Amino acid sequence: PISFGQTLSDFNGLRLATYIRCSNSINSLKNIFIYSYVEFSALISNEYFDILKTKNIFLIKHRKNAFKEAISKDYEFFSNKELSNEISKLTLNAPLNYNDSHSIANEWAIYRWSCAIKHTDNDIEQIVLNVNKNLYFKYLSTIYPTSKITPISKANLLLKYEEQPNILLIDDEADKGWYELFLNILGDINKIDNLYHLDKEFNSKSKDDIIDISLKKIKELNINLVYLDFRLHEEDIYTLNIKEITGIRLLVEIKKYNPGIQVIIFTASEKAIYLKSLLDEGANGFIIKESPKNSIDPYFTNNTILNFIQATQKCINSLFLKDCFNNLEKLKSTLVPRKNPKSSNPLPKEFVNEIIKWHELTYNLLLKDINDTSLTASFLFMFSILENISNNVIFSEKPIPIDNKPGLFK
């Protein structure tokens, strides 16, 4: 029937027909006849009206002869290969119980990732259950079937590292499944034990509180790699000033504390202006949370996960920059006071400035990119610094020679 339930004007028959088509059952490809007491024109404004444009769904009169005529006809066979294309003729609205597209992208991306790496747990099973039950997600899954996702082998998810990185996931929806996926990829597959996360700690907290909590955790756990969600506060969705979005504000504070800490942004937004702002503030990589519109590319899920591995590997290769910054700060704290002629062990002001300038130049060069050219250049710069120290400090401070080793001093 075109209508059933308490409100006849809802035309739930159109919705039920959509549900049947999007459900993986023996009836999903059968002919569907919707018998109606209203004219075709009365249905046009209904959200599910477009289901009538799809193959082998018919609107018939609520009359006995119309029923007889409908079942006596020969109809073209409807194959599973046609289903995705037919359902794509519909445009369904997101459920009202989701605050924004950010929440939808989170669940959709978690579902797709779990299919690609063949991982599940209680949190992810709940999302899978929701996808299989909620009509909107059933509709998306019919258009973008996970059968087109090629499982990624564990060999393609492996990372190389010498020392265990300390990793922190900062995402207000981490416990919905992201943390479990990260645990599987980083923990189970790559044996990285030091993986932490923040999410529930942000409940009912202000933007400033979120930033303070995150920085405190980074310092407390000696974190050197952060996966940072772009939007961490509900107000971020409506914030027009990019600089006021919590993720960018936190990125700035992390880099201010230590620019060597690697930060990979985890975001559902692909706006170029946002990505440029994040790059300008020192972001070391981006991972796009897959929204439904991305899934038109059947390779998007796999490419995103492999990009996650590539970005993580690049950051792991750059973890030494955190200690480099700490050493630079120690050098400054040691040398700068010695520019004062009245200090106990003064050094020429020009010499100190030169050493710090070249050290900062070396560090900034590596911050921009680590490659053969930057590594070679930084080595030469640091060697030059050591030569300067040797010529201007070691001999002037009367070092003690090492016996029988000409040119070497304690």
**Rounded to an integer, what distance in angstroms lies between the CA atom of residue 270 and that of residue 34?**
41
Burial class (CB in 10 A: 0-12, 13-18, 19+), 277: middle
The lowest-confidence range among 25-39, 313-327, 377-391 is 377-391
pLDDT at residue number 150:
93
Q: How many CA atoms lie within 13 A of 217 on its CB side?
A: 21
**CB 39 within 8 Å of CB 11:** no
Closest to 196 (Cα-Cα) out of 205, 186, 206, 207: 186
Q: Residue 80's Cα: distance from chain center in Å?
A: 33
Q: Mark 26-57 as b/e (b = at least 16 C-beta within 10 Å).
A: eebbeebbbbbeeeeeebeebebebbbebbbb
**Rounded to an integer, what distance in angstroms lies between the CA atom of residue 313 and that of residue 305?**
12
Q: Evaluate if residue 5 carries a pLDDT over 90.
A: no
Confidence of residue 124 (pLDDT cuts 50, 70, 90): confident
**Average model confidence (pLDDT) for the chain?**
89
Q: Mark 132-162 as b/e (b = at least 16 C-beta within 10 Å).
A: eebbbbbbbbbbbbbeebeebeeeebebeee
**CB 3 within 8 Å of CB 13:** yes
Confidence of residue 404 (pLDDT cuts 50, 70, 90): low
Confidence of residue 344 (pLDDT cuts 50, 70, 90): confident
The residue type found at 12 is N
pLDDT at residue number 259:
96
Closest to 367 (Cα-Cα) out of 266, 265, 255: 255
Percentage of the chain modeled with pLDDT above 70? 94
**Rounded to an integer, what distance in angstroms lies between the CA atom of residue 207 and that of residue 180?**
25
pLDDT at residue number 396:
53
What is the 8-class DSSP label of residue 22?
A: T
pTM of the predicted model as reported, rounded to 2 decimal places: 0.86
Confidence of residue 397 (pLDDT cuts 50, 70, 90): low
Q: Evaluate if residue 359 carries a pLDDT over 60.
A: yes
Q: Evaluate if residue 38 carries a pLDDT over 80.
A: yes
Q: Residue 319's Cα: distance from chain center in Å?
A: 20
Q: Return the HEC string of 90-127.
A: CCCCCCCCCCCHHHHHHHHHHHHHHHHHCCCCHHHHHH
